[in-house]
Chains A and B, each alone.
Chain A
């Protein structure tokens, strides 16, 4: 009985760790964009722990001090210190760090050697188009092919409702909006197979709207594109 209860507690405590790895883990980055976002996440976790620790220490100190000296401490000091100064000290550097990271992740047009891939989401599948493939545009469904080690701009749109394009191990997600094209830049550090999902509820087939991502070395990327069906130019 006791052993069973200990097992339950251990399972509940360690369950959150199951999200630290696996094909859809944001904490196991496989590209520079995903790594920058994961670093920001760790910085925000450290900041929140620091802020929580500081506030709890102050709270504890107030209780202990109140027992020793029954006269109440100055409320203005606590309001200004705990409510404004401490959050500002922790959150201001986090804001600056977050803004700098966001700026680095943007798909600035001045970057050279960027591969363009067009993505169309529809209920409930992903269509990928490779306009710059040798010998004319190619296409694939629910399977995205990337060149490893090179930045890729994905021009994401939708044919029906709002979907969410997301490859957790390669970087941030972006909305697929009907009548509008959003651009997201990401890259894979090395050849491999990853998973992507729809991150926005889009109807009854939403949970099955995932796709396979394969990053190829430079040579095999062009070869793989040649095997895909042709699309209109």
Chain B
């Protein structure tokens, strides 16, 4: 296998993190303007519910990406491929940690008044 795929996988995790960050920001701003904090579903405001959903979907995508990167191990014995695969795993783990950080306060803090 050519090393093209793991080369693309190196930035993939942070592309997902950027998507999470942008969407959380947008949902927070637009949801507050739309009055989603007044609608309660299952004991939780709609704005918090949507924020949690956006966050969890991105976390799930990052976990799937990480599993995929780890499973690339058996497909090639090429050294360049091996290095790129390790770099992809490292950057995906960092992106996962950053995404956890980005949304960890969603359940606790007041989104809007």
**Cα-based distance from A99 to B94 in the complex (angstroms):** 22
User: Within 8 Å of chain A (Cβ to Cβ): is B105?
Assistant: yes
- Interchain CB contact under 8 A, A99 and B113: no
From DSSP, what is the main secondary structure of chain B's interface residues? loop
- Interchain CB contact under 8 A, B113 and A183: yes
- Interchain CB contact under 8 A, B113 and A102: no
From A84, A95, A103, A183, contact of B110 by CB (8 A):
A103
User: Within 8 Å of chain B (Cβ to Cβ): is A205?
Assistant: no
**Cα-based distance from A183 to B97 in the complex (angstroms):** 34
Closest CB of chain B to A191's CB: distance in Å?
29
From A84, A95, A109, A180, contact of B113 by CB (8 A):
A109
Number of B residues with CB within 8 Å of any CB on chain A? 9
B54-108: which residues lie under 8 A (CB-CB) from chain A? 94, 97, 101, 105, 108
- Interchain CB contact under 8 A, A108 and B110: yes
Complex interface: chain B residues within 8 A of A99 (CB): 105, 108-109
Complex interface: chain A residues within 8 A of B101 (CB): 95
A74-121: which residues lie under 8 A (CB-CB) from chain B? 84, 95, 99, 102-103, 106-109
- Interchain CB contact under 8 A, A107 and B109: no
Complex interface: chain A residues within 8 A of B97 (CB): 84
Complex interface: chain A residues within 8 A of B109 (CB): 99, 102-103
CB-based nearest B residue for A79: B90
**Cα-based distance from A106 to B113 in the complex (angstroms):** 8
For A169-201 the 0/1 string (1 means CB < 8 A from B) is: 000000000001001000000000000000000
Closest CB of chain B to A97's CB: distance in Å?
12
Further contacts, 11 of them, CB under 8 A, given A95-B105, A102-B109, A109-B113: A84-B94, A84-B97, A95-B101, A99-B108, A99-B109, A103-B110, A106-B113, A107-B113, A108-B110, A108-B113, A183-B113
> Which residues of B does A touch, CB under 8 Å?
33, 94, 97, 101, 105, 108-110, 113
